[in-house]
């Protein structure tokens, strides 16, 4: 009987383990405060793209945008406390050395995902009516690889 129970524990144990996912409650790698007027001049941030968490295994993440593959870290790469955004749209884009992907959770708790809208296998997300408040950004890759990347944030008049 012990052998059967041990075999069942080995076979089913990993399947019941908690799965890691992108989580905005984890302290981000970098945090900033900025405003719509300040981002009228683009700001660029260096980051390593990639992660261990396959986004579609995470049930709480259901972006209203693209639904492609992507591997992301658990903690946000960036957290921005945004202000004075009412007259702007926010463009978040990435240039990378691999097939990168972006995942964003906005102040209104909406998830956004993109893989290739910036061209050259790089992502770009346009938030047409961003709210003041916290926005968290994860920089991942389509295939689970890791590479150097640059995140750019810029506002434009609506």
Domain count, the chain: 1
CA distance 152 to 155: 10
Domain presence at residue 95: yes
Neighbour tally for 141: CB within 10 Å: 24
Classify residue 16: in a domain, yes or no.
no
CB 141 within 8 A of CB 101: yes
The model's pLDDT over 31-70, given as tens digits with 9 standing for 90+, comes to 999 999 999 999 999 999 999 999 988 888 877 666 678 9
Q: What share of the chain is helix, strand, coil (3-state, %, to 5)?
A: 15, 45, 45
Residue 29: give the domain boundaries: 21-157
In a domain, 51, yes or no: yes
Residue indicated by tokens 């049930």:
59
* Domain contains 1: no
Q: What is the pLDDT of residues 86-101, one digit of tens each?
A: 999 999 999 999 999 9
Q: Read off the CATH number of the domain in which 105 is found.
A: 2.60.120.380
Q: Is residue 14 part of a domain?
A: no
Of 28, 62, 21, 19, nearest to 137 (Cα)? 28
Is 115 part of any domain? yes
Query: What percent of the chain stands above pLDDT 70?
Result: 85
Residue 146 lies in a domain: yes
Mean per-residue pLDDT over the chain, rounded? 88
Report yes or no: 109 and 14 within 8 Å, Cβ to Cβ.
no
Give the Cα separation of 106 and 80 in Å (integer): 10
pLDDT per position as a tens digit, 68-88: 789 999 999 999 999 999 999
Judge whether 78 lies within some domain.
yes
Q: Is the pLDDT of residue 104 over 50?
A: yes
């Amino acid at each position: 009987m012990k052998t059967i129970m041990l075999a069942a524990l080995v076979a089913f144990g990993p399947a019941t383990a908690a799965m890691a996912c992108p989580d905005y409650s984890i302290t981000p790698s970098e945090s900033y405060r900025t405003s719509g007027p300040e981002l009228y001049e683009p700001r660029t941030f260096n980051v390593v793209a990639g992660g261990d968490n396959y986004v579609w295994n995470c049930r709480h993440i259901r972006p209203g945008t693209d639904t492609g593959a992507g591997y992301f870290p658990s903690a946000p790469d960036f957290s921005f406390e945004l202000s004075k955004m009412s007259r702007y749209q926010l463009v978040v884009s990435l240039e990378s050395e691999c097939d990168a992907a972006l995942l964003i959770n906005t102040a209104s708790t909406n998830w956004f995902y993109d893989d290739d809208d910036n061209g050259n296998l790089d992502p770009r997300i346009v938030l047409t009516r961003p709210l003041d408040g916290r926005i968290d950004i994860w920089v991942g890759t389509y295939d689970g690889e890791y590479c150097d990347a640059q995140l750019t944030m810029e506002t434009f008049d609506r």
